[in-house]
Amino acid sequence: MDRMNRRGFLECMAWVGTGVVWTATGGILSSRVLPAAAAELTGGSFSFVQISDSHVGFKGQANPDAAVTLQQVVGKINALPTPPAFVIHTGDLTHGQKPGAFDTVAEILKGAKTDKVLYIPGEHDVFVDGGKEFLGRYAKGGPGWQSFDYQGVHFVGLVNVLKYKGEHLGALGGEQIAWLKQDLAGLSNSTPVVVYAHVPLWAVFPAWGWVTEDAEQALALLTRFGSVTVLNGHIHQALQKVEGNVTFHTAMSTAFPQPAPGVGPGPGPMKISEEQARPMLGMREVRYVLGTTPLAVIDSTLA
C-alpha cells in the first residue's frame, strides 16, 4: 500500500461522500474509490451501518421534513448489496423530543433490512427530561452505555450527553469510565474495537461544544488495542482523524448539514437549499473483512 502524502489525502477528501473506501492500517489513512465489483462481501466478513442525527421534527431551509430524508436513507440501506448485520444510530434521533417523535423514528427504521437497530442518545434526545424517555425506551431505564461482541469485533456504545445540559460539553463521567475499564479488561490487544458515541471523542471545536471533556480517560484505556475505530455524530459532517491505532470518524446527518468547525457565527443548521444540502446528508457503511484488522468506512450521500 502506498503511503499517502498531503496532496493525495486532499484529493481523496474531495471524494468523501461519493462512495469511498477508507482503510486505516498502522495509523496510515488510505482510500480508493469504491468499484462496483467490490460491493459483495465474502464469507466470514460482515458490515454494519452508522446513521446519525436524524433530527426528526426538524424543518428548515435545507430540509422541509427530516422524516422524509431519514426514510430515504433507509432506502439506501436497503439497496446495499449485502444487508448490514445491524444499524447503529449515534444520537439526536429527534429534534425537539416532541411527543411521538421517537415512535416516528422507530417506525421508519423498522423498514430497514437489518437484524437490529442500536441507539445511543444525543443531547436533543435527553434535554427535556434528563433522558427518562430515551433510556426508558432503549436502555430499560439503565444508564444507556452498552457493549457486545460480533464475529470477533468488540463494540462499545458510550453516552456522553447526560451532562451536556448547562455545560454544553460532552462528558462520560467517572461511573461510565470505570465500567469501560471493566468491560475492556478481558480483551486481547488484537481484538478489533469499535466505539460509538454521539459527541466526538476528540476535540473537534470546543467553543461549539464539539468535544468530550473526559474522553482522554476513555482513550487511554483503548490505546493498547491494535485497531480502534471511533464513530461519532453531533457535528453533521464527515471528518476523520488518526491517532496511533485509533481512527476517529464523525458522520453526516440524515437531516441537515452544519458548518465546518469554527466557520460562521455558530453551529446552527446551514441555511442552504435542499439541492445544496443533499450531497451533505447520508449514511456510513463500515466493513470488517475477516483476517484483517482494518475496518473500511464508506460514506454515501443522498445526492
Residue 266 CB, nearest distance to another protein (Å)?
Answer: 5
- Measured from the CB atom, is 163 or 287 closer to another protein? 163
User: Which residues in 143-172 contact another protein (CB under 8 A)?
Assistant: 164-168
User: Is there binding between residue 249 and another protein (CB under 8 A)?
Assistant: no
In this structure, is the dihedral angle defined by the CA atoms of residues 169, 251, 185 and 116, taken in order, positive or negative?
positive
Alpha-carbon span 176 to 158, nearest angstrom:
8
Alpha-carbon span 136 to 128, nearest angstrom:
14
Least Cα distance to 287 among 91, 9, 18, 80 occurs for: 80
The span of 1-9, 59-67, 215-223, 283-291 binding another protein (CB under 8 A) equals 59-67
Among 58, 119, 145, 155, binds another protein (CB under 8 A): 58
User: Is there binding between residue 18 and another protein (CB under 8 A)?
Assistant: no
Alpha-carbon span 144 to 192, nearest angstrom:
22
Cell reading at 142: 439503565
Least Cα distance to 197 among 157, 245, 242 occurs for: 157
User: Is there binding between residue 128 and another protein (CB under 8 A)?
Assistant: yes
Whether residue 77 contacts residue 49, with contact meaning beta carbons closer than 8 Å, is answered with yes
User: Is there binding between residue 97 and another protein (CB under 8 A)?
Assistant: yes
Among 76, 89, 95, 163, binds another protein (CB under 8 A): 95
Among 22, 24, 123, 236, binds another protein (CB under 8 A): 123
118 DSSP assignment: E
Q: Which residues contribute to the site for another protein (CB under 8 A)?
A: 57-61, 95-98, 123-124, 127-128, 164-168, 256, 265-266, 268-269, 271
